[in-house]
Amino acid sequence: MPSDIERETAGRPTSGVIPSSRIPSAFTWPAAGAMQITSLPGGGCNIKITFSERGIVRSIGPGQIVKVRNIPTKRIAQQYEILIQHADDFESSYSILDQTPNLPAGGSRPLRTPGALVEDGEELYVIGNGGFLHFQLSRAGRLVDPREYIRIEHEGATDVTRQPPEP
């Protein structure tokens, strides 16, 4: 029997998916922080957002949580994976590594359960003392570059792959 933290659903949700009419014209970045962008073979990319201290991971848009699991580590850190199904066949993936020492299982608060609906920008997880978010976006089962669909940035977000403007 899975623990309270490790819950997964089989397949895609059959009800409760946010209708296309409610999808925002642009998704929102899932967190603020320094970004490292790695292109992947076959398309799409992985976006790593670093939290030097406290950080909040948020849903990029309205959707339904389809998977939540705790990934065991051999370190003090806690690692979690959250998948959210959005309208128009988008799926966002959040792999969270929380380096907060002496953190109880589940982090600072209980993780959401599969089947739960989330709104645009809704808090998914709070990192207390440093960590990382590896974020990916797919559409119709294929990885896509999130920068093509995410237009709204959180205050303080920094993309380390972009060059500063010349004076």
Tens digits of per-residue pLDDT, 27-57? Answer: 989 998 889 999 999 889 999 999 988 889 9
Say whether pLDDT at 61 is over 90: yes
Closest CA to 128 of 24, 26, 39, 51: 51
Say whether pLDDT at 10 is over 90: no
Section 21-31 average pLDDT: 69
pLDDT tens string 112-159: 889 999 999 999 998 888 899 999 999 999 999 998 888 765 444 444
Say whether pLDDT at 6 is over 60: no
> For residues 81 and 85, what is the distance between their CA atoms, to the nearest angstrom?
14
pLDDT value at residue 137: 96
Spatial CB neighbours of 132, under 8 Å, sequence gap ≥ 6:
48, 49, 50, 51, 96, 97
The CATH code belonging to domain 7-152 is: 2.70.70.10
**Residue 154 structure tokens:** 């959180």
**Residue 125 structure tokens:** 């997880």
Q: What's the sign of the alpha-carbon dihedral 96, 60, 93, 145?
A: negative
Asked if 137 contacts 144 with a C-beta cutoff of 8 angstroms, the reply is yes
**Residue 107 per-residue DSSP state:** T
pTM: 0.73
- Domain borders along the chain are 7-152
pLDDT tens string 62-121: 999 999 988 877 777 788 899 999 999 999 999 998 887 766 655 555 678 899 999 999
> For residues 7 and 21, what is the distance between their CA atoms, to the nearest angstrom?
29
